[in-house]
Amino acid sequence: MACGVCVRFENAPVAVIIWSDLPQAMPLLDLIEAQVNEVLRVVGATGSRLSERELEVIKMSADGMTSAEIGLFCDIAETTVNAHIAKAMKKTGARTRTHLISMAIRNGHI
């Protein structure tokens, strides 16, 4: 008897796996689960979604604004801007602000 699983991300199918023997398929399923979990961690889909303010700050940063300029524009302290960036980096696993911006672009946030 054939069995299968559909891996979904944000309610959209991203992979369908069909196998005929579950014990033989388990190592493959474990590998797929680990890879899907890594992808979800990297894109920040582990339940810690980026807030509207974090996305706003990332977009302004991508437009070339400094933290001080973003702070003036949003009427918040520069340290608060940096805190939003740091929190977004932690949620997404980004290593730098540039990496965070590139991830936001790749994931359609910008």
What predicted TM-score, i.e. pTM, was given to this entire model? 0.59
**What is the DSSP secondary-structure string of 43-97?**
TT-SS-PPPHHHHHHHHHHHTT--HHHHHHHHTS-HHHHHHHHHHHHHHHT-SSH
- CATH code, 62: 1.10.10.10
pLDDT for 46 equals 43
Q: Assess if residue 93 is contained within a domain.
A: yes
Q: Which own/partner contact pairs does 98-103 have at CB distance under 8 Å and 24+ positions apart?
A: 100/58, 100/61, 101/58, 101/61, 101/62, 103/42, 103/43
pLDDT for 9 equals 59
Domain co-membership, 98 together with 64? yes
Q: Assess if residue 47 is contained within a domain.
A: no
Summarize pLDDT for 46-87 with one digit per residue, the tens. 455 889 999 999 999 999 999 999 999 999 999 999 999 999
Q: Assess if residue 70 is contained within a domain.
A: yes
Domain housing 61: 52-106
Segment 22-47 mean pLDDT: 67
Domain co-membership, 29 together with 62? no
More confident residue, 23 or 51: 51
The structural domain count of the chain equals: 2
